[in-house]
Structure 1
Amino acid sequence: MASSTHICGICDLRNISKPSKIWCSECDEGLCNACQEHHSLSKATRQHSIIPIAEYSNLPSDIMQISQSCCKHDEKLILYCKDHENPCCGKCAVESHKQCKEIVSLDEIIKNAKTSVSFHETEATLIELIDNISKIRNAHKENLTDVSKKRKAIELEIKKTRLRIDKHLNKMQKTLTDEIHGVCDKESEKLRLSIKTLDGTEHVLSEYQMKIVNIKKYASDIQAFMAIKKIETDVEKEEEYFLSYIPEGKMNIVTINCKIAKPIQAFLNQTNTFGDVGIETTTRSFALSHKKSMQAQMMLPKVHTIAIENITALLHKRVNTVSYNVRGCCILPNENMVFACFDQNTLTFMRSNGSKDATIRLPAAVDLAYLEADKSIAVTSSTETEKCIRIIDLQNKKTKKNILVNTKNFGIAAFHDSLVYCTNSNNIRMISLRDELVKNIVYAEISPFAYVETFQDLIYYTNTKTDDVTCCDMKGIVKWRFKFENVDLIPYGITIDNTGNVYVTTGSNNVIVISPDGKRYKELLSSRDGLRNPIALYYDRKTNTLLVSNRSKDAVVYDIVR
């Protein structure tokens, strides 16, 4: 925002504090009564749309923070770059978008934001998801009641059987009853946890509903345009999680049963168990509401492919990491950097100006991934005693959580609210950060220190055993495989830019870039550009910069020009 919502922006510039009474979305500031009168009479502003400050305050705080002015030049955002999918001011267009082919008026882009397909699709999806959650929750409640009834029926059967047999079976009866209670309680707890998870998801979706209602009522067009993109992404994540919860519209219904052993009445002395407790799971179909996959807002382009022949790297800066055997790195949103130092058993934090910020000890740290949702990083390690993924809080530089995964782990990448990581068990796995459920995605003979990256709904990974780079979908189905045949190159680290080009470090002191279809490649950087046995690299898709860490002592940041 240009100014506080509570203080008149014009008076504040005159060092006068007056409370704002109305909000002008085009000026992006609040106005007091006196300034409002001048604002309504001035030729330049008389046509501006204003709303009472009390109504504007109904907007969520994160929507209010969406500025309508360029944060770099403090000028109004008037243009939209389709190549970078970002609004910009006139100066930005000249300084940073000279090579961009599609610069259009921002007004044309945002004029239908609140009535766009994306807006309506998101609202409809929220309604459907909440309705589906209600159906599943009710089914779980019914199942919970059935389990309780079945438990009582089994207990009654046990007691009736016990009356027909002698004291010899009393001890076995208690053992079986306890077992039934244990199984029932365990399954009931799972159902309660599922209900709790659904309640939490429903609450989040309801908040998005209220947020959209307030955006439609009170947000400016650009705020609505920028906000719905974020909300749409979040809702897609919630929808994806929900659909994975009920694959193909089916869910497991749990019941318990107990079969009394037939020989028990005739052969009391030969029977050592009172009965068998089992879990019977049946599948019930649900008529879930589910529209077609959400259509993207058609006024914005999808990813534009950039020919790798046009990609060049310009030296931006060098950073003295004072680290050895760096296996992983990344650039944070504030342009600070993090390096995983395998030999030194440390995680090194560097400021954007090249000075050291902090160092924390992490045994056998291999790779790391930035988690935007909670401003933290996930770090893998590869020792028998460190079979976990650590979540590091970026604010206090301390471990906030250890996720046990029972494997030695190497490359790691973030994907929505999950992590994709390479293991020493010849597979690539995905773990949900919500409930820590793990599923296998890729089954292959994957080498130690294999690296992985995600882009859109695809997974890319390197393999030094087979000397190739593979692209597959989230089910592990291979889309393409690039083999380094007749080339003295060994693939190590991997990262993806915002157009799908794949950057890979190799065993020949260079970085190559592979086309999005996996058919072509070119050498982008070599030892002539300051590379010395690099493994780790990271592409910052917001700033179009490439961080390449030499295996020891320093790292290099390049500006990628396309």
Structure 2
Amino acid sequence: MSSKLIDCGVCEYRNINKPSVVWCSECDEGLCEECKEHHAASKGSRSHHSVPVSEYQKLPTNILAITQTCPKHDEKYQIFCKKHDCLCCRRCVTETHNGCQEMDVIDDVIKNVKSSNAFLEMEQTLAELSENLQKIKKDRQENIKSMMENRAKIEKEVQQTRMSINNHLDKLQESLLKELFAAEKNESTKIENIISSIQENERKILESQTTLGKIKQHASDLQTFLALKHIQQDVTNNEQFLESLIKEKKINNVSMSWKIEKSVEILSTTIKKIGTIQLDTRSADATLTVRKNQQAQMMMPITHAPTIDDIKLTLRQTVKTTGKHVIDCCLLPDGRMIFSCYSNSTIYVLKTDGTLDFSLQLESRTSHIHFIEESQKLVVTTGQFFLYINIIDMRNREEEKSINVRSENYGIVHKDGILLYNGGRSGLYAVNLKDGCVTQLVKVPLFQRSGIAMWSENLYFINMDYSVSCCDLQGRVKWKLELNPLAAEFFSCFVAPKAS
């Protein structure tokens, strides 16, 4: 047993020998009763997780041997490099990973690793492998049993046949039975070898399951993260073993029968055989458990979930628009850009390099636009004075129809054949593309000339008082964000441009 598990690390540093009672994974050392209390009270270590040494020692030896410090520089791991799939200390980053771009803080990588999808997938995969190995073992044992029954039946038939013929056929019978037993023994030996391999793999899976259970209870997050990589190799080997059994047809069922020679009925000294042992194979009866849409087991680090503070904007291209008073824009799947110019009632489509592709002149004003990719339709709202929404077929560049919504209309989005739009002072509306049926979702007045957004089955819109609201697709408001007067005044300068 390692001395650092037995002795208190803090006391040992002071040349004092005291037995440790708990183990701190973050400090990577044992603590005695007195040091445990200081450790729990200290600001730098009060958040550390510790477990009794007796429980920590239950972890497998290879897990206990995992070090949390860099063996090259003897410094604690701080960074995970995605490019090289390895842990790095501060000096490793400077010396060998200075040019790597995808680097994560180790605390973010190992956070919640025991409840991660990777850990859950590993538990499920091990259980599945164990179940499949048991099924194949049982199927192989049943195959041996069925062959014994085949052999007994054939033996009886052979003996009955022998009784009807003369002494000359006794020798032929003996020869045939030898062939029968040899065939059974040969095939049984093959199956028993497969069963032996299965039992060995089953034992390894059981060990991995036991190890995983102990890791889940007592190992640190870093130990868990690293241990999963070792277990992953065993899982991959077992999966390849199962695939090889199927691919090489090693689990095909073997049955035995015999075919009576026609010449047996003719008693003649020229008869050399009274039958032949036949081996027939068919697909195994065992049905392996395979989860649907199972993806390749890949140990991916748990990365930090990005927030709005992580977003960095980079100017890639500046496009000079045609026309005045551009209200809205959207992108086509091929990268082309569509702009809506309110003052001259025109839709402009620009190529990816910013040059004009074509334009569409409409009879009504053009406020906000939304492109429906599945039907190749462009939806155009008309603003304050025209109370309908235009539908344009972008394939032939012609106006397909207009839907009279009987209200002003601005920002618009689409979901499953339903258009959801900003009705200005009348509120938030939904209109069915097929029958033109209009439904009011939210009755409060919305800010005119503003857009709306949809994300994850929720709608986001700006109210008349510059507050922002979120509701579901049925109009039930979930929350409302109030802006202070100064922010509202600043915000209004950008969301409410005056028509030129």
Report the Cα distance in structure 2 between the residues aligned to 1:138 and 1:68, rounded to whole angstroms.
43
Whether the 8 Å contact between 1:133 and 1:198 is mirrored in structure 2 is yes
Whether the 8 Å contact between 2:139 and 2:285 is mirrored in structure 1 is no
Q: Secondary structure at the match of 1:278?
A: strand
Q: Secondary structure at the match of 2:5?
A: coil
Whether the 8 Å contact between 2:73 and 2:91 is mirrored in structure 1 is yes
Whether the 8 Å contact between 1:23 and 1:56 is mirrored in structure 2 is yes
Asked which structure has the greater CA Rg, the reply is 2
The residue identity in structure 2 corresponding to 1:176 is: L
> Structure 1 residues 105 and 200, CA, compared in 2 at 3 Å: closer, same or farther?
same
Matched, 1:296 2:276: no
- Provide the residue aligned with 1:138 in structure 2: 138
Higher mean alpha-carbon deviation, 122-131 vs 36-45, is at 36-45
- Provide the residue aligned with 1:470 in structure 2: none
Report the Cα distance in structure 2 between the residues aligned to 1:162 and 1:264, rounded to whole angstroms.
10
Higher mean alpha-carbon deviation, 185-194 vs 94-103, is at 94-103
Report the Cα distance in structure 2 between the residues aligned to 1:298 and 1:23, rounded to whole angstroms.
28
- Provide the residue aligned with 2:373 in structure 1: none
The residue identity in structure 1 corresponding to 2:190 is: K
The residue identity in structure 2 corresponding to 1:231 is: I
Matched, 1:184 2:184: yes
Size of the alignment, in residue pairs? 301
- Provide the residue aligned with 1:43 in structure 2: 43
1:182-219 Cα shifts (integer Å, max 9, x gaps) = 11111111111111111111111011111111111111
1:438-492 Cα shifts (integer Å, max 9, x gaps) = xxxxxxxxxxxxxxxxxxxxxxxxxxxxxxxxxxxxxxxxxxxxxxxxxxxxxxx
> Structure 1 residues 22 and 55, CA, compared in 2 at 3 Å: closer, same or farther?
same
Report the Cα distance in structure 2 between the residues aligned to 1:285 and 1:163, rounded to whole angstroms.
37
Give the deviation of 1:107 after TM superposition. 0.5
Q: Cα RMSD over matched residues?
A: 2.2
For CA contacts below 8 A with separation 6 or more, give which structure has more relative contact order.
1
1:216-260 Cα shifts (integer Å, max 9, x gaps) = 111111111111122123212211221221249994101111222
Unaligned runs of 5+ in 1: 302-562
Give the deviation of 1:300 after TM superposition. 6.5
Whether the 8 Å contact between 1:79 and 1:104 is mirrored in structure 2 is yes
Whether the 8 Å contact between 2:108 and 2:302 is mirrored in structure 1 is no
Matched, 1:174 2:166: no
Report the Cα distance in structure 2 between the residues aligned to 1:99 and 1:23, rounded to whole angstroms.
37
- Provide the residue aligned with 1:305 in structure 2: none
> Structure 1 residues 295 and 55, CA, compared in 2 at 3 Å: closer, same or farther?
same
Write 1 or 2 for the structure with the bigger share of helix: 2
- Provide the residue aligned with 1:162 in structure 2: 162
- Provide the residue aligned with 2:346 in structure 1: none
Identity %: 39
The residue identity in structure 2 corresponding to 1:294 is: A
Whether the 8 Å contact between 2:256 and 2:279 is mirrored in structure 1 is yes
Report the Cα distance in structure 1 between the residues aligned to 2:233 and 2:138, rounded to whole angstroms.
28
Matched, 1:243 2:253: no
Report the Cα distance in structure 1 between the residues aligned to 2:41 and 2:245, rounded to whole angstroms.
57
Report the Cα distance in structure 1 between the residues aligned to 2:85 and 2:168, rounded to whole angstroms.
78
1:483-535 Cα shifts (integer Å, max 9, x gaps) = xxxxxxxxxxxxxxxxxxxxxxxxxxxxxxxxxxxxxxxxxxxxxxxxxxxxx
Give the deviation of 1:123 after TM superposition. 1.0
**Aligned residue runs from structure 1 range 409-448, under 5 A:** none
TM-score by length of 1: 0.51
**Aligned residue runs from structure 1 range 153-302, under 5 A:** 153-247=153-247, 251-284=251-284, 286-291=286-291, 292-299=294-301
Report the Cα distance in structure 2 between the residues aligned to 1:2 and 1:106, rounded to whole angstroms.
26
The residue identity in structure 2 corresponding to 1:293 is: Q
Q: Secondary structure at the match of 1:101?
A: coil
Report the Cα distance in structure 2 between the residues aligned to 1:96 and 1:264, rounded to whole angstroms.
82
1:72-97 Cα shifts (integer Å, max 9, x gaps) = 22222111222222111212222222
Whether the 8 Å contact between 1:118 and 1:232 is mirrored in structure 2 is no
Report the Cα distance in structure 2 between the residues aligned to 1:128 and 1:61, rounded to whole angstroms.
26
Give the deviation of 1:290 after TM superposition. 1.0
**Aligned residue runs from structure 1 range 430-509, under 5 A:** none
Report the Cα distance in structure 2 between the residues aligned to 1:76 and 1:2, rounded to whole angstroms.
20
Write 1 or 2 for the structure with the bigger share of strand: 1
Give the deviation of 1:264 after TM superposition. 1.2
Report the Cα distance in structure 1 between the residues aligned to 2:48 and 2:302, rounded to whole angstroms.
26
- Provide the residue aligned with 2:107 in structure 1: 107
The residue identity in structure 2 corresponding to 1:47 is: S
**Aligned residue runs from structure 1 range 276-425, under 5 A:** 276-284=276-284, 286-291=286-291, 292-299=294-301
Whether the 8 Å contact between 1:158 and 1:173 is mirrored in structure 2 is yes
Matched, 1:149 2:152: no
Report the Cα distance in structure 2 between the residues aligned to 1:250 and 1:195, rounded to whole angstroms.
11
- Provide the residue aligned with 2:426 in structure 1: none
Q: Would you identify which runs of 4 or more consecutive aligned residues in structure 1 move more than 6 Å?
A: none
Q: Secondary structure at the match of 1:104?
A: strand
1:303-350 Cα shifts (integer Å, max 9, x gaps) = xxxxxxxxxxxxxxxxxxxxxxxxxxxxxxxxxxxxxxxxxxxxxxxx
Report the Cα distance in structure 1 between the residues aligned to 2:284 and 2:238, rounded to whole angstroms.
23
Report the Cα distance in structure 1 between the residues aligned to 2:166 and 2:63, rounded to whole angstroms.
73
- Provide the residue aligned with 1:71 in structure 2: 71
> Structure 1 residues 294 and 58, CA, compared in 2 at 3 Å: closer, same or farther?
farther
Matched, 1:82 2:95: no
